[in-house]
Structure 1
Amino acid sequence: MGNKELNQEIGRRIALQRQKAGLTQEAVAEALGIGNEAVSRLERGTVAASVPRMMELATLFGCQTGDFFMEQSVVVQDQAAEISALLVRVNPEARKFVMEQVRHTIQWLEQQEKLNQKSV
């Protein structure tokens, strides 16, 4: 993958994280003190995002800078950080509901795994 393709891929992931955060390009531009077109150029990958700029974007989006380089980490700590970033966006009652759903899903998955092991 060349520099152009790498910049485009990172830009696509910046756009994805912006959308996950529920922000418009205009809101990002305002928060960073840059023009709308500069945000668009970053997302299209026509300009490379500097490391300090990626750090600003990650803080703004509530994600990790590594999210701009990989779709989804398989590292438990990265996944926990992603869940944490999502949970802070909702009220305590909603967080409680989400955590109950996660617990139930994990229990179900563990049961499925045990059944699959018995059938092998």
Structure 2
Amino acid sequence: MQEKKEINLEIGARIKAEREKAGLTQERFSELIGLGTKSVSAFERGTVGISFTTLKKICHVLSVSSDSILFGKCGESPNDVSELAARLERLSPEEYAIARDIIFKLLEAFSLQK
């Protein structure tokens, strides 16, 4: 069994919290960052560390800053448009098409009200 380093435990816990906040399963998250589910499970449990490349992918997929993952700083949260874009990227092509149509119809309805 691998020794768990405190820093890996902290980073892993932050990644898991952000992943769950984003509504992603480990399986879907692993697909989005290009790793296996065993790797995701291992770094979330703190048994392994993550590379800089993996950190960049994680931050992109979760729409969070590297500071929030590495140091727990939450002052740099993304704006609503960035968060919406990140969530849309995680959808399947079919889900994306449905969401896009709904968003455009809402925007059209709002513009008609003015």
Q: Hey, what does 2:32 align to over in structure 1?
A: 31
Q: How many residues align?
A: 88
Structure 1 unmatched runs, 5+: 94-120
- Do the aligned partners of residues 82 and 67 (structure 1) sit closer, same or farther apart at CA in structure 2, a change above 3 Å counting? farther
Say what the alpha-carbon RMSD is for the aligned residues: 2.6
One-letter amino acid of the counterpart of residue 31, structure 2 = E
Is 1:63 matched up with 2:64? Answer: yes
Task: Give the fraction of aligned pairs with identical amino acids, expressed as a percent.
Answer: 33
One-letter amino acid of the counterpart of residue 36, structure 1 = T
The separation in 2 between residues aligned to 1:52 and 1:26, in whole angstroms, is: 19
One-letter amino acid of the counterpart of residue 63, structure 2 = G
- Residues 9, 47 of structure 2: 8 Å contact kept: yes
Q: Which has the higher helix share?
A: 1
The separation in 2 between residues aligned to 1:14 and 1:46, in whole angstroms, is: 13
The separation in 2 between residues aligned to 1:69 and 1:22, in whole angstroms, is: 21
Shift of 1:33: 2.9
Structure 2 unmatched runs, 5+: 89-102, 107-114
State the structure with more CA Rg. Answer: 1
Shift of 1:85: 3.9
- Residues 63, 82 of structure 1: 8 Å contact kept: no
Shift of 1:84: 5.0
Shift of 1:82: 5.4
Q: How does the TM-score come out when normalised to structure 2?
A: 0.63
Q: Which runs of 4+ in 1 moved over 3 A?
A: 82-93
The separation in 1 between residues aligned to 2:79 and 2:46, in whole angstroms, is: 24
Q: How does the TM-score come out when normalised to structure 1?
A: 0.60
